[in-house]
Amino acid sequence: MKVLKFGGSSVAKPERIRGIVDILKGYYTKGEKFTVVFSAFGGVTDSLIEMSTLAAKGDEAYQEHFEAFAARHTQAVHELLDGEYREAVLPELERNNEVLKNLLYGVFLVREASKRTMDYVLSFGERSSAFIISHVLRQSGINAAYLDARRIVKTDKSFGSARVDFKLTYQKIRAHYAQNPDVQVVTGFVASAKGGLTTTLGRGGSDYTAALIAAGLDASVIEIWTDVDGVLTADPRKVKRAFTIPTMTYAEAMEMSHFGAKVIYPPTLQPALLKKIPLYIKNTFNPDFIGTLISDHVDPEATAVKGISSISHVALLTLSGSGLFGVPGTAARLFSSLAAAGINIILITQGSSEHAISFAVQPSMANKARKRVEEAFEYEISMKIINPVKIEEDLSVVAIIGENMRYQPGISGRLFQALGKNGINAVAIAQGSSELNVSVVINRSDEAKALNALHESFFLSDTKELHLFMIGVGLIGSTLINQIRAQAGYLKETRGLEIKVVGMANSRKMLFEESGIDLEQWQDSLQEAATEMDPAIFIGKMKELNLSNTIFVDNTASSKVAAFYEDILDSSISISTPNKIAVSSGFVQYQRLKAIAAKRGVQFMYETNVGAGLPVISTLNDLIISGDRILRIEGVVSGSLSYIFNNFKPGMRFSEVVRKAQELGYTEPDPRIDLNGLDVRRKLIILARETGLPLEAEDVAISPVLPESCRQAATVESFFSELEAADTYFNALLQEAEANGKVLRMVGKLEGSSATIGLQQVGSDHPFYHLSGSDNMIVFTTERYKERPLVVRGPGAGAEVTAAGVFAEIITIGNYLG
Ligand SMILES: NC(=O)C1=CN([C@@H]2O[C@H](COP(=O)(O)OP(=O)(O)OC[C@H]3O[C@@H](n4cnc5c(N)ncnc54)[C@H](O)[C@@H]3O)[C@@H](O)[C@H]2O)C=CC1
Ligand SMILES: N[C@@H](CC=O)C(=O)O
Ligand code: NA
């Protein structure tokens, strides 16, 4: 015998009921023996409560609710039943409605709806639904009979949530089913006490009815039909990538439901669980899907963590002080004071120093709990050996749940790593020694991020979503977007990595799309975006969205954006940027950014600041951490200046070559930054600082390349006119070098604490002589690389190589976050 139960959402509309008939016909034609329990039509129980509450208040509006109730059921009959079946049901329904109407009128007259009356009122929901559906089944050819559960489920008179008399109930169930071979269509939730008084079974009542029948009949299986695909790994409203848990144990299901997985309410399934009757959770809207099987079988192959759950809102109270240490009975006093006040405790922690006990309660209970505890410890508090109770509000509990966590090391390590890397602070931690559940109290604003980070870490470790917030979509930014788009398929397939650009901005507009901006048409979307760009709002929004694996990318050359790095890193968000401003400004700021990143455990990456995509900073850091000593760094570190002097040949106009370098995307947004040596200076500063030298801009000696007139130009265009006027000057420089058999190179040099930048003539014996294109060449002379220095060479500017460098950092950060 199978026991099926369909919840309110499964019978909310006539077409859904037809779907159920199909499911049941399937069983019936296969000759399976089953009985089926129904809840009231979706929303009906609430409306019955509403109408009786109104009536009890003397509000005549209850009548409208009643009329709607009656009409809804009558209409269902008209839609679902014809001919003799309709004829059989309508009069019975009308009689019932008449009784309900009189009952409500009575409530209205006496202005009172006692629990006892309420149970009777509520019974009309299940009695109407099961009665109608039993006839729909008969009409479809199933030999079905309506069974009012008041005939078989016997309880005491605790109205509202009555206690079952199991012995009598099982007797009645067995006797009834022995006499009635038809498919019994049973009202869930309702029962009766001695004298035939109607009672109800409380929360999860229809599940309870199904469990009682299953236990009474020693059923082979229970199927709970609902509106989701079984029990999911996490709440799908908060974790989009949640999926169905195929099998779980009763204990796991209990834990999940305790944490609010609304699918089942296992405490009410206890009678069936005692008899170890396996249970399926199935979806009425997706009946072919297998759903979740709950049994007592622990699958040793199953994942350690089965599900992730949360209680969205709790308050944490802490009792602390030296007066707790080594005093037996303290915990007993604490918790009995709460018990006496009827306060339920959600979670408890006490460290072995016994200095403090923290416990979580529902926020609405926090003040009452504090009062009661302070009363209980009044003496100790007055003696100042115990502190007044501390309340922390706006917290959530997230928990990982699974039988296979037991004895398996590394699970909590993973839990805290996932939280830590996403900047989520653990306020309190609890793990029962059953190891079935590890609970962490966190800030409420981090709940969704924590659930997603944990879900990814435990269930999707081979797939990962990165959430990018990108300011600056000019040359480098747009190239980066193209690269991400082109590589998306490969990354997903081979690395399980999905990069979503959630926020995007240029200097005018900003755009946000939590599910990821469509990178096929980001230009149009950004252009059409309604929001004016404001970096503070952009960053505020990024923090507010609080997504797991958030990465900030700054592709501007703006100091306004760089000014937010501190705040961003402090919010536990990693940064990748080609913008050199932040790290090459004051040394103190450089140090502070590094320190905050280290404190928050996030990445701050800027490899593209020197030599674009070339591994310059990472090479330098590798040398340093492996114990080498840097003696000298010398290099051509400007891609644009390299290009310009590599291509500037006799007969050419210097200004034309500069324009070409700009067109090729080698120069800074303002090319004067390159030509006046500032860009090279930034790079030298950064390299020096990486070696530990607190170099400031004024410590760098620049021999200017540009004549004074060019340096003074107010705008980029006026600069170009001045540059044209200086063409002859540059020709003279070139000719002089040629005459010496040499070429011109802009060289930066760092030696000891001296840093210099200047245009040099280099001969064919010099490594810089043979550079071409936008090549950079950085020569590290170190203790270990003394005779033959270590050289990094290659294109040191340009959109593709720079964007690729940023792209690689994004993936590095992604790997770190996982
Ligand atoms: N071009 C190259 O080869 C290399 C460039 N870089 C660096 O890459 C960065 C970007 O360079 P490009 O793409 O060539 O510049 P670009 O001028 O083409 O693009 C800059 C972008 O930043 C936006 N922007 C500027 N100020 C802003 C603000 N306050 N708020 C919001 N958005 C703002 C602009 O609207 C534009 O979308 C610069 O910091 C540059 O130094 C680094 C290495 C190599
Ligand atoms: N403008 C820069 C770009 C790379 O940092 C350069 O010319 O090197
Ligand atoms: Na680099």
Question: Three-state secondary structure along 106-167?
Answer: HHHHHCCCCHHHHHHHHHHHHHHHHHHHHHHHHHCCCCEEEECHHHCCEECCCCCCCCECHH
For residue 645 and ligand 2, the question of a CB distance below 6 A is answered with no
Helix 475-490 vs helix 799-817: crossing angle, to nearest 10: 50
For residue 775 and ligand 2, the question of a CB distance below 6 A is answered with no
Q: State the distance from the centre of ligand 1 to the C-alpha of 475, rounded, in angstroms.
A: 7
Amino acid at 239: V
* Ligand 1 site-directed mutation target among 471, 533, 553, 555, most atoms within 8 Å of CB: 555
Nearest CA to ligand 1 atom 23: 472
Nearest CA to ligand 1 atom 27: 507
Average pLDDT along the chain: 94
Mean pLDDT score, 509-522: 97
Percent of the chain with pLDDT over 70: 99
**Ligand 1 atom nearest 556 alpha carbon:** 22
For residue 674 and ligand 2, the question of a CB distance below 6 A is answered with yes
Percent of the chain with pLDDT over 90: 87
Residue-wise pLDDT for 166-187, tens only, equals 999 999 999 999 999 999 999 9
Q: Is residue 259 pLDDT above 70, yes or no?
A: no
814 exposure class (CB count in 10 Å sphere: 0-12, 13-18, 19+) = buried
* 633 or 432: which leads in pLDDT: 633
Return the DSSP state at 735.
Answer: H
Residue-wise pLDDT for 550-608, tens only, equals 999 999 999 999 999 999 999 999 999 999 999 999 999 999 999 999 999 899 999 99
Return the pLDDT at 214.
97
Secondary-structure class of domain 307-459 per CATH: alpha beta
For residue 671 and ligand 1, the question of a CB distance below 6 A is answered with no
Q: Sign of dihedral through CA atoms 603, 609, 611, 617?
A: negative
Question: Is the ipTM of this structure higher than 0.95?
Answer: yes
The separation between CA 554 and the C-alpha centre of its own chain, rounded to angstroms, equals 23
For residue 607 and ligand 2, the question of a CB distance below 6 A is answered with no
CATH architecture, range 2-227? 3-Layer(aba) Sandwich (3.40)
Which among 257, 213, 207, 212 has a CA at the least distance from the CA of 231?
Answer: 257
Q: Is residue 512 pLDDT above 70, yes or no?
A: yes
Residue-wise pLDDT for 59-98, tens only, equals 999 999 999 999 999 999 999 999 999 999 999 999 999 9
Q: State the distance from the centre of ligand 3 to the C-alpha of 573, rounded, in angstroms.
A: 22
355 pLDDT tier (thresholds 50, 70, 90): confident
* Catalytic residue selected from 275, 683, 742, 786: 683
For residue 554 and ligand 2, the question of a CB distance below 6 A is answered with no
Q: State the distance from the centre of ligand 3 to the C-alpha of 791, rounded, in angstroms.
A: 13
Mean pLDDT score, 465-489: 97
Nearest CA to ligand 1 atom 38: 557
Return the pLDDT at 234.
92
Nearest CA to ligand 2 atom 4: 797
Mean pLDDT score, 490-505: 95
Q: Is residue 433 pLDDT above 60, yes or no?
A: no
Return the DSSP state at 347.
Answer: E
Q: Is residue 763 pLDDT above 90, yes or no?
A: yes
Return the pLDDT at 407.
78
**Rg of the Cα atoms in the chain:** 37
Return the DSSP state at 625.
Answer: H
**Ligand 2 atom nearest 680 alpha carbon:** 8
Nearest CA to ligand 1 atom 36: 474
Mean pLDDT score, 313-324: 93
Return the pLDDT at 262.
67
Q: How far apart are CA 441 and CA 159, in angstroms?
A: 36
Return the pLDDT at 336.
94
Q: Give the full edge-to-edge strand order of the sheet including 190-193.
A: 154-155, 190-193, 198-200
Q: Which CATH superfamily is domain 617-797 in?
A: Dihydrodipicolinate Reductase; domain 2 (3.30.360.10)
Residues with a beta carbon under 5 angstroms from ion ligand 3: 607, 611, 614, 616
Q: Where in the chain is the domain with CATH 3.40.1160.10?
A: 2-227
Q: Where in the chain is the domain with CATH 3.40.50.720?
A: 464-602
635 exposure class (CB count in 10 Å sphere: 0-12, 13-18, 19+) = buried
Helix/strand number for the chain, H first, E second: 30, 30
324 pLDDT tier (thresholds 50, 70, 90): confident
Residue-wise pLDDT for 11-54, tens only, equals 999 999 999 999 999 999 999 999 999 999 999 999 999 999 99
Residue 679, classed as helix, strand or coil, is helix
Q: State the distance from the centre of ligand 2 to the C-alpha of 811, rounded, in angstroms.
A: 23
Return the pLDDT at 774.
97
817 to 111, 454, 548: CA distances (angstroms): 61, 12, 9
For residue 679 and ligand 2, the question of a CB distance below 6 A is answered with yes
Whole-model pTM: value is 0.80
Q: State the distance from the centre of ligand 2 to the C-alpha of 564, rounded, in angstroms.
A: 23
Q: How far apart are CA 190 and CA 209, in angstroms?
A: 8
Q: State the distance from the centre of ligand 2 to the C-alpha of 668, rounded, in angstroms.
A: 6
218 pLDDT tier (thresholds 50, 70, 90): very high
* Ligand 1 site-directed mutation target among 469, 473, 475, most atoms within 8 Å of CB: 475
**Ligand 2 atom nearest 683 alpha carbon:** 5
Nearest CA to ligand 1 atom 8: 578
Which among 365, 348, 447, 468 has a CA at the least distance from the CA of 398?
Answer: 447
Q: State the distance from the centre of ligand 3 to the C-alpha of 702, rounded, in angstroms.
A: 22
For residue 612 and ligand 2, the question of a CB distance below 6 A is answered with yes
Which among 811, 782, 35 has a CA at the least distance from the CA of 496?
Answer: 811
Q: Is residue 361 pLDDT above 90, yes or no?
A: yes
Q: State the distance from the centre of ligand 2 to the C-alpha of 651, rounded, in angstroms.
A: 26
Q: Is residue 616 pLDDT above 80, yes or no?
A: yes
For residue 578 and ligand 1, the question of a CB distance below 6 A is answered with yes
683 is catalytic: yes
Which stretch of 606-610, 696-700, 707-711 has the lowest confidence by average pLDDT?
707-711
For residue 640 and ligand 2, the question of a CB distance below 6 A is answered with yes
**Ligand 1 atom nearest 639 alpha carbon:** 3
Return the pLDDT at 302.
85
Which among 393, 374, 259, 373 has a CA at the least distance from the CA of 315?
Answer: 393
Q: State the distance from the centre of ligand 1 to the C-alpha of 474, rounded, in angstroms.
A: 6
- Could you give the residue ranges of the DSSP H alpha helices within 664-753? 672-675, 678-690, 708-712, 716-725, 727-739
Which among 208, 210, 200, 225 has a CA at the least distance from the CA of 48?
Answer: 200
User: Phi, psi (5° rounding) for residue 437?
Assistant: -155, 130
789 to 622, 747, 781, 783: CA distances (angstroms): 15, 16, 5, 9
695 pLDDT tier (thresholds 50, 70, 90): very high
* 519 or 352: which leads in pLDDT: 519
| Geometric angle at alpha carbon 226, from 221 and 228, rounded to 5° | 115
Q: Is residue 159 pLDDT above 80, yes or no?
A: yes
How far does the chain reach from its first CA to its final CA, in angstroms? 48
Measured torsion, CA atoms of residues 49, 53, 55, 58, in degrees rounded to the nearest 10: -170
Query: Quick check: 102 and 108 in contact, CB under 8 A?
Result: no
Return the pLDDT at 429.
92
| Domain 464-602 CATH assignment equals 3.40.50.1100 | no
Q: Where in the chain is the domain with CATH 3.30.360.10?
A: 617-797
Mean pLDDT score, 516-520: 97
Q: Where in the chain is the domain with CATH 3.30.2130.10?
A: 307-459
